[in-house]
């Protein structure tokens, strides 16, 4: 008895799939990486983060002593600063404008070693307080 048309078509498709599968198997065998030289399998990353097959150029060596880890060291600054009294209240507080940074620093008359007035040139030390910096050990400069 004769096979129907659809059975013949399905059989042809099945044979075609088998041929394609065999062909892919042969391609994999010919293109496999087994037996290649180690250098052929290396890949490199250039300075821009791209993967390449070319090794990077030789660069100058960097000394391990030159590499600084963490934050830069803080240089000690002179604890005694100078400035002018720009505001002085009758209530016993005021502000000193620092000569170098033009920053205003709060002070209270309890921290003054001598009586001062507005416009006086003074030397002082900065101290961290809960509301910012404040001046202590305030002396007149003559």
Q: Tens digits of per-residue pLDDT, 71-101?
A: 888 888 788 999 999 999 999 999 999 998 8
pLDDT at 33: 65
Tell me the domain boundaries of the chain.
7-56, 80-140
Tokens of 106: 């709060």
Q: Which residue has the tokens 């209270």?
A: 108
**pLDDT tens-place string over residues 30-63:** 877 666 677 777 888 888 889 988 888 877 888 8
Which regions of 1-142 does DSSP assign to beta strands (E)? 44-45, 51-52, 80-88, 93-98, 104-108, 121-129, 132-140
pLDDT at 1: 57
Greater model confidence, 20 or 57: 20
Range 80-140 classified under CATH 1.10.3720.10: no
pLDDT at 87: 93
DSSP state of 92: S
Rounded to 5°, the CA angle 23-28-33 comes to 165
d(CA 105, CA 90): 17
Closest by alpha carbon to 124, among 103, 102, 107, 110?
A: 107
Mean pLDDT for the chain? 88
């Amino acid at each position: 008895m004769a096979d129907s048309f659809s059975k013949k078509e399905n059989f042809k498709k099945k044979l075609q799939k088998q041929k394609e599968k065999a062909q892919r198997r042969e391609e994999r065998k010919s293109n496999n990486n087994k037996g290649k030289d180690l250098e052929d399998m290396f890949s490199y990353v250039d300075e821009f983060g791209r993967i390449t097959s070319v090794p990077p150029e030789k660069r100058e060596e960097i000394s391990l002593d030159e590499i600084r880890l963490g934050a830069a060291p803080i240089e000690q600054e002179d604890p005694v600063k100078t400035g002018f009294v720009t505001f002085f209240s009758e209530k016993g507080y005021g502000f000193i404008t620092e000569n170098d940074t033009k920053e205003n620093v709060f002070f209270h008359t309890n921290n003054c070693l001598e009586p001062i007035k507005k416009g006086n040139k003074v030397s002082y030390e900065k101290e961290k307080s809960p509301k910012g910096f404040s001046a202590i050990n305030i002396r007149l400069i003559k």
